[in-house]
Structure 1
Amino acid sequence: MSSQVTPAPATLPLTLPAPAIHGDIADLLVSYLEQLGIEYIFGVPGGSIEPLYNAIARSTRRGGLKQILARSEAGAAYMADAYARETGKVGVCCATSGPGATNLITGVACAFDNNIPMLVITGQPALPSFGKHPLQESSCTGVNVIGMFRHCTQYNSLVSHAKQMEPKLITALQRATRSPCGPSHLSVPRDLWLEPNPDPAPAYDLPTLLQPSSLVDDEAIERLRQMLASARNLVLLIGGWCGEAINAIMQFASIKGAVFVTTPDGKGLVNANHPLFRGVFGFGGHATAEATLRDDSVDLILAIGASMGEWNTSGWCDSLLNDRLVHIDESEDHLARTPMARFHLRGRISAIFNRLLERIYNVRQDAKVEIERRRVNREQINGPWDPESILAAPDKYISNDAPMKPQRLMRELGLMFPPTTRFLADAGNSVAWAVHYLHPFDRRICERRMGGGNRKRTQGRRKSHGGWLRITANFAPMGWAIGGAIGTAAGNPHVPVVCITGDGSWLMNGQEISSAVYEKQTIIFIVLNDQALGMVKHGQRLGGAEQIAFELCPTDFALMARAMGAQAFTIRGPQDLAALDMQEICSRKGPTLLDVYIDPDEVPPMNARMRVLGGNQ
């Protein structure tokens, strides 16, 4: 994730004196977060962490860090996760001791499984009370929260002395941002927050210290270049970890005339209208993507920034995992999952592809080959491309039925919102429908550069490491997208944010809309209302299991949202969507909920998941 420029502090009125800078340990931590340009900390306060909130309040008054009050600690973790995806900064969440800390764990585990850089801060009762059974004790002598977090963090430590705070904080941030990224956890007793710090100014320059390395292996890149030069038919698999490098990757694909597919978490990084796009490979994906990889004429598959779990390999499908594969990634963990690959190249993906582009332009023989390849593929690159041609049920994509076909809903969502919109799809049916059928129209294909490398000719795609579609793969907790939408809107308040979620997820976590109301965020929550845990229901039917424990009672989600201060509408068919004033909704300073009644019998594209369940892997 790239570092960001720290925003300038707000200027105070001349009639007011500058606030005193407190010198306790809580202020030291806050000052480091300010140094990194982090704007928000997400959490729920409590007695053991109250001194940190006092320091946040002092920072807010001088134009620095602000807090967003979540309605649950798990929601706070989801918010921090999405804030990190949107901004490229570290997401920060906090909770008090005991149940506050344990409520965080699902969100932290989700970030860990998705390699999201986060700083997780929990409180503890005062050190002298350890072992005396104080209220909400979660140290090693109580309910051991440090032990619980050990398995879902990159760094995990109790700060037991004031002088430990600075070195442990630096280490935590380094571990969070170095590949593989992930959450780091610090647990701090209440009395240590209040310890005086003799030097309130930070001793370290964190933006420089955490700057990602651009070192690459020149010999390995030369070997890859030679493999590319001899390849007759090249296919790219673009994964979710290509955000920083996507512009260079797309230029590389266009120069090579190479078609590409994406993983589910990589879809949001590309334009579904690109003439070389052949669909999504993995959960909720397209038959065209698997057919592209199975094509016997393909002799080289470049998998880039793909974690290679069940979701993005279509259940470890042999069409991808074979000796035609070249795996490029910064994470050793990801590379370790492809032992069958012909070649592995580890390094910062943006640096690798910038170097490849430079060599394409600088090596004369390569240039001749690429000019000829572009001539041969010009008709393919510039010819018409209809993204609807890859859909499993194109007739339902335009259906006027009520209740609404979820396929048609995805089509309308892609047309209703501007190209800058961020979509988040929740676990369950929501992500399956979005991955397969959500294709926003966006004319931008990729940026162009003069002579390859880093020299840009035009601005090209919008800058966001997370892309236009955000999902959570692997761990996939229900309700992630609800809190995630709030974190995304906090990180970028200038664009609409659309959360696609299910009725089951909303019943778990829908209270977080109250946070969006308070923060006046422009978020559109789409609730797929089929009165069921849809993924469970359809999975049971497809797998021949007992039909049990999936039904939900009829619920008026629009009424619930209005009760918490949001604007809300009930949608029963395409005509109800068409009647909405989307310009007003997208400019409104506050959330809107659409309670969309969908056809409960429509089966989501989940064949890859059923393949795994059927094989008992």
Structure 2
Amino acid sequence: MLDLITPDIGQMSRAAPPMAAPHTSPVDMADLLVSYLEQLGVDHVFGIPGGAIEPVYNALARSARRGGIQHVLARHEAGAAFMADGYARETGKLGVCIATSGPGATNLITGVANAFDNNVPLLVITGQPALPSFGKNPLQESACTGVNVLGMFRHCTRYNSLVSHAKQLEAKLVTALQRALRTPRGPVHLTVPVDVFRKPCAPHESIYNLQTLLRPSALIDDEQVEQLRELIDGARNIVLLIGGGCGEGIHAILQFAQLTQATFVTTPDGKGLASPQHPLFRGVFGFGGHATAEALLRDPEVDLILAIGSSMGEWNTGGWCEALLNDRLIHIDESEDNLARTPMARYHLRGNIRAIFNRLVERIHEARVHIDGVKPMAAEVPFERDSLFAAPAAYHSDAVPIKPQRLMKELSQMFPPTTRFLADTGNSIAWATHYLMPPDRRMGERRLGGGNRKRGPGQRQATGGWLRQTMNFAAMGWAIGAAVGTAVANPLAPVVCITGDGSVLMNGQEISVAVAERLAVIFVVLNDRALGMVKHGQRLAKAEQIGCDMPFTDFALLARALGAHGVVIDSAADLQALDVDALLLRDGPTVLDVRLDGEEIPPMNARMRVLADGNL
């Protein structure tokens, strides 16, 4: 499968780290853990050390000396989990975060819960005091006889276990990895006492071949696919809803859309998987979305709506809007949990999305070649973006302070096509979802017949697309850490984090990690002196104005205090004056402190509709 966005080596300021040499001689159980991570091709882990996790850090140091895994020191454990999340989305590999016992483990929970609700595969390793000290009130005890972190992680992991004996580690680790990488994907947690990690491990080849054991399945039900094809053949007007789970299958999906002339909309987290200039694109449906998308789904001329790879939560269904959730719906997904949320659908199909659409494309070609030839694909003409926007005048406005709509226009045009944009929770997601429209994106796969190149669990996927967001749990500050993890994973690609002043004041210390790792991440701070979504939500709901205003903060000055480059932006002209190429070649991050017009109302009508109706 071709990557949706291929890194431009010409934009690189430094080379990717070398692959680790094979490690076949573990010293203790912590070395065995690290040797399995090396086997998976994991090249970076994220965390903060402490006494109870010291053996793992010793093993990581030994790995690093032989050219293996590198450790990235976070500033807060939640930041480490966010970084592992960004790393996993960028590489297609497992993200790994590590913390000591007690508060180290509890600090991880928000980041782990966020990954759980967004199906991001993480391996979470926490330490424990030595087993003989359990129940004696040792420092930072967090086992069943202390502050029980195992019980806390139970609700936000796919697998969660205490390793109480050295001989359990290998089997439990392999089980955890299987649970992390199968559908539904997500974080898994192992907590290990320090004395268990220190147990000697005889040198030997690892028993399990993880590349074979964890290879993703591409099985599909041919009979069900044939039934779906018959429904499609009988339809005159098809609309696709492309969700965030379509990353690995997006090329085949876009080819299917062109062969059938099916227009498509995306969910907010699916927007980055397709070009906003695609002639068949009609906008985003859901939070921060476009009226054109909802109007298309409500069109009575539409026969079928194919919802693909969508979790069907509040933000990617427009607040469970009936325009989508009706008997015209066909729901296609790998997850049984997602399919269970659409009982009204005409048809459900569970299976590997990429394999399903490869098969559909092949069947369409077979039928058309033998009957009436191949139907011409849609002409690639520029899409009229202004028809999507709720406030097109603001999108082009030269007003000072800069309007957020115009900020998104400038960001769309400033950076090269290989850029990864990450939008943080709050107004950042709303503005980016609605107005960020980079040009020069791939239109999709062009190979007739779909293609069936196989992948392994460690192959770079970039399945997050060019715009990455966090749905559902929606933790503030996620994008700051995830941007660091993305840049660590792929220093060849420009990374732009769009975040708010509230998120920076909550988790902005992770910018210091980008300084330490010399990552040229661009942090764009929407500085409106408020928790913007809260402020506007209270106004739109005619609620009390409380708890949303913040004093002015000079984020450019704060950036310089952290060792980053800081620039104040008041206008579109300030952005146009920036030497973007120089910023991307810097030996460290840049913070753009954007003093924007905070009175502009973000596109959040879907959210307000849900808040207004407690029965939804």
Q: TM-score when scaled to structure 2?
A: 0.94
Structure 2 CA distance for partners of 1:237 and 1:366, relative to 1, 3 Å: farther
Partner secondary structure for residue 543 of structure 2: coil
Partner secondary structure for residue 140 of structure 1: coil
Identify the residue that residue 568 of structure 1 maps to in structure 2. 566
Q: Is the 8 A contact 1:433 1:604 kept in 2?
A: yes
Distance 1:367 1:148 in 2: 60
Identify the residue that residue 217 of structure 1 maps to in structure 2. 221
1:311 has 2:315 as partner: yes
Identify the residue that residue 112 of structure 1 maps to in structure 2. 116
CA RMSD of aligned residues (A): 2.0
Match of 1:68 among 61, 67, 72: 72
Structure 2 CA distance for partners of 1:46 and 1:177, relative to 1, 3 Å: same
Distance apart, 1:200 and its partner CA? 4.1
Q: Is the 8 A contact 2:20 2:43 kept in 1?
A: no
Q: Is the 8 A contact 2:368 2:374 kept in 1?
A: no
Match of 1:334 among 317, 320, 338: 338
Distance 1:287 1:369 in 2: 36
Note the alpha carbon deviations across 1:483-510, whole angstroms, 9 max, x for none.
Answer: 0000000111101100000000000011
Q: Is the 8 A contact 1:23 1:200 kept in 2?
A: no
Q: Which runs of 4+ in 1 moved over 6 A?
A: none
Does 387-396 or 468-477 show the bigger shift? 387-396
1:155-194 superposed matches below 5 A: 155-194=159-198
Identify the residue that residue 296 of structure 1 maps to in structure 2. 300
1:270 has 2:274 as partner: yes
Identify the residue that residue 478 of structure 2 maps to in structure 1. 480
Aligned residues: 598
Note the alpha carbon deviations across 1:104-147, whole angstroms, 9 max, x for none.
Answer: 00000000000110100000000000000000000000000000
Distance 1:161 1:444 in 2: 51
Distance 2:60 2:442 in 1: 40
Q: What are structure 2's unaligned runs of at least 5 residues? A: 4-15, 455-459
Distance 1:383 1:114 in 2: 34
Distance 1:131 1:602 in 2: 56
Q: Is the 8 A contact 1:256 1:370 kept in 2?
A: no
Distance 2:334 2:587 in 1: 39
Distance apart, 1:454 and its partner CA? 3.0
Identify the residue that residue 457 of structure 2 maps to in structure 1. none
1:425 has 2:423 as partner: yes
Q: Is the 8 A contact 1:357 1:453 kept in 2?
A: no
Distance 1:9 1:111 in 2: 26
Identify the residue that residue 261 of structure 1 maps to in structure 2. 265
Match of 2:324 among 308, 320, 327: 320
Distance apart, 1:326 and its partner CA? 0.4
- Letter of the aligned partner of 2:542 in structure 1? G
Structure 2 CA distance for partners of 1:406 and 1:311, relative to 1, 3 Å: same
Q: Is the 8 A contact 1:24 1:200 kept in 2?
A: no
Structure 2 CA distance for partners of 1:580 and 1:305, relative to 1, 3 Å: same
Distance 1:415 1:295 in 2: 33
- Letter of the aligned partner of 1:555 in structure 2? T
- Letter of the aligned partner of 1:608 in structure 2? A
Distance apart, 1:586 and its partner CA? 1.2
Distance apart, 1:580 and its partner CA? 1.0
Distance apart, 1:387 and its partner CA? 1.9
Structure 2 CA distance for partners of 1:534 and 1:399, relative to 1, 3 Å: same
Partner secondary structure for residue 395 of structure 1: helix
Identify the residue that residue 93 of structure 1 maps to in structure 2. 97
1:368 has 2:372 as partner: yes
Q: Is the 8 A contact 1:122 1:188 kept in 2?
A: yes
Identify the residue that residue 511 of structure 2 maps to in structure 1. 513
- Letter of the aligned partner of 1:285 in structure 2? G
Distance apart, 1:444 and its partner CA? 2.1
Distance 1:48 1:8 in 2: 30
Distance apart, 1:442 and its partner CA? 1.5
Structure 2 CA distance for partners of 1:612 and 1:85, relative to 1, 3 Å: same
Identify the residue that residue 388 of structure 1 maps to in structure 2. 386
Distance apart, 1:10 and its partner CA? 5.8
Distance 1:410 1:364 in 2: 42
- Letter of the aligned partner of 2:243 in structure 1? G
Identify the residue that residue 611 of structure 1 maps to in structure 2. 609
Identify the residue that residue 38 of structure 2 maps to in structure 1. 34
Match of 1:79 among 78, 83, 104: 83
Structure 2 CA distance for partners of 1:259 and 1:361, relative to 1, 3 Å: same
- Letter of the aligned partner of 1:206 in structure 2? L
Distance 1:615 1:370 in 2: 48
Q: Is the 8 A contact 2:476 2:503 kept in 1?
A: yes
Q: TM-score when scaled to structure 1?
A: 0.94
1:237 has 2:237 as partner: no
Partner secondary structure for residue 63 of structure 1: coil
Note the alpha carbon deviations across 1:327-383, whole angstroms, 9 max, x for none.
Answer: 000000110000110000000001101111111112258853862xx4xx85xx444
Q: Is the 8 A contact 2:24 2:203 kept in 1?
A: no
Partner secondary structure for residue 526 of structure 1: strand
Identify the residue that residue 593 of structure 2 maps to in structure 1. 595
Partner secondary structure for residue 510 of structure 1: helix
1:583 has 2:587 as partner: no
Partner secondary structure for residue 392 of structure 2: coil
Percent identity, please.
Answer: 67
Identify the residue that residue 47 of structure 2 maps to in structure 1. 43
- Letter of the aligned partner of 2:279 in structure 1? P
Q: Is the 8 A contact 2:286 2:606 kept in 1?
A: yes
Q: Is the 8 A contact 1:236 1:261 kept in 2?
A: yes
Distance 1:71 1:384 in 2: 44
Partner secondary structure for residue 372 of structure 2: helix
Distance 1:10 1:128 in 2: 36
